[in-house]
Amino acid sequence: MARLPQIALLPDGRRLHLQDGPIDLIVEANGAAEAVRAAYAAAARRFTGLLDELCDELALLRASARTDGCALQGPVARRMHDAVVPYASETFITPMAAVAGSVAETVLAAMTAAAPLDRAYVNNGGDIALYLAPEQSFTVGLVDRPDRPGLFGTSVLTAGDGIRGIATSGWRGRSFSLGIADAVTILAVGAADADAAATVVANAVDLPGHPAITRIPARELQPDSDLGDRPVTRGVGPLAPAEIDTALAAGTAVADTLIARGLIRAAALHLAGETRTVGLGSDPTSLSVIPAKAGISMASRAAGGPRFRGDDERRIAEQGTLHA
């Protein structure tokens, strides 16, 4: 019998929940009732079979991204490849690093093509694709510890910001990280871009060789992990303030580079209660999207892993990582 996704409205009657295998999406559209209905129908239609589409090319998606061309066929797979290829020449990264954001973007695109909406989002476990019509805005909540959901700050994204993707990652999340950050949140032009960058920045927040950090080869945890024998973080013991600063500095340095290259707009990094923010202008105090008290921890998501949704637990998403 054919496996079919779960498609249901959440109890609030507004948000749509789409789930298939490891993919979990919370979707909301605002606009005329008819438009919302059409958008949800389009989302459900696009979502059906999407996982199968990805799995057709799973072996290639789990392989190191190639800089000399893309052999992937599916549109979602190609979006994943495009999002990670800027990093492929300098580090090990697979298209899986952008799977959650790419899925979110794809479903959102189907919705906005189907009907005129005021605004919409597709939240794939904390990796979020946004749509904002002119003059519209979203209030975004930030979490500092994906394993202990709680908002430590909210801010407003407006249509003029040009930010349509948010991703959060950290070693405490669902997927593996090579770094030690509790969480890194990235704001970017697209969700796939934010997703890939979260992986890269989060991997950079690290203290190589530090005895308080427990690392285990990815393959021992998940036999088919695309990270193979690369050691992923499974525990971080107490760190001295100077060490925290060093690790965060390594992360912010990478984030600054990504901003300079135009790959992301802003980053918030959080480690052991310390936060750093970078981006959206040279004056850090003028950051409009990340409140000053926002925890910046450079969470590194590993360069891949069998990961189809973002690192944040769904609960975070539902408690209002995004609210209207």
SS3 119: strand
Shortest reach from residue 320's CB to other proteins, in Å: 10
Q: Which is nearer to other proteins, 51 or 268 (CB)?
A: 51
HEC-encoded secondary structure of 203-266? HHCCCCCCCCEEEEEHHHHCCCCCCCCCEEEEEECCCCHHHHHHHHHHHHHHHHHHHHCCCCCE
SS3 277: strand
DSSP lists the bridge partners of residue 188 as 165
Q: Is 318 in the site for other proteins (CB under 8 A)?
A: yes
Residues in the chain, how many? Answer: 324
Q: Is 279 in the site for other proteins (CB under 8 A)?
A: no
Report the DSSP pairing between strands 16-20 and 6-9.
antiparallel
Q: Which is nearer to other proteins, 2 or 260 (CB)?
A: 2
Shortest reach from residue 22's CB to other proteins, in Å: 4
Reading the block at residue 320, the tokens are 């209002």
Shortest reach from residue 13's CB to other proteins, in Å: 7
Contacts 24+ apart (CB under 8 A), 58-65: 60/95, 61/94, 61/95, 61/96, 61/99, 61/226, 62/94, 62/96, 62/224, 62/226, 62/304, 62/306, 63/94, 63/226, 64/88, 64/92, 64/93, 64/94, 65/93, 65/94, 65/95
Q: Is 174 in the site for other proteins (CB under 8 A)?
A: yes
Q: Which is nearer to other proteins, 12 or 68 (CB)?
A: 12
Q: Is 189 in the site for other proteins (CB under 8 A)?
A: no
Residues of span 20-59 touching other proteins by CB under 8 A? 20-22, 24, 37, 40-41, 44-45, 48, 51-52, 54-56, 58
Reading the block at residue 118, the tokens are 């005021």
Site for other proteins (CB under 8 A): how many residues? 45
Q: Is 242 in the site for other proteins (CB under 8 A)?
A: no
**Ramachandran assignment for 272, one of left (phi > 0), alpha (psi -120 to 50 degrees), beta (any other):** left
Q: Which is nearer to other proteins, 34 or 135 (CB)?
A: 34
Q: Which is nearer to other proteins, 7 or 258 (CB)?
A: 7
Q: Which is nearer to other proteins, 141 or 190 (CB)?
A: 141
Q: Which is nearer to other proteins, 22 or 231 (CB)?
A: 22
Q: Which is nearer to other proteins, 3 or 261 (CB)?
A: 3
Stretch 210-239: interaction string toward other proteins, x if CB under 8 A: ----------xxxxx---------------
- Which of 79, 151, 65 minimizes the C-alpha distance to 108? 79
Residues of span 3-22 touching other proteins by CB under 8 A? 3-13, 16-17, 19-22
Q: Could you give the CA distance from residue 228 to residue 160 in angstroms, rounded to a whole number?
A: 42
Shortest reach from residue 121's CB to other proteins, in Å: 17
| Helix locations, 48-98, DSSP H | 50-55, 58-61, 75-88
Shortest reach from residue 78's CB to other proteins, in Å: 19
Among 81, 140, 314, 322, binds other proteins (CB under 8 A): 314
Which residues bind to other proteins, rule: CB under 8 A?
A: 1-13, 16-17, 19-22, 24, 37, 40-41, 44-45, 48, 51-52, 54-56, 58, 174, 220-224, 306-308, 313-315, 318
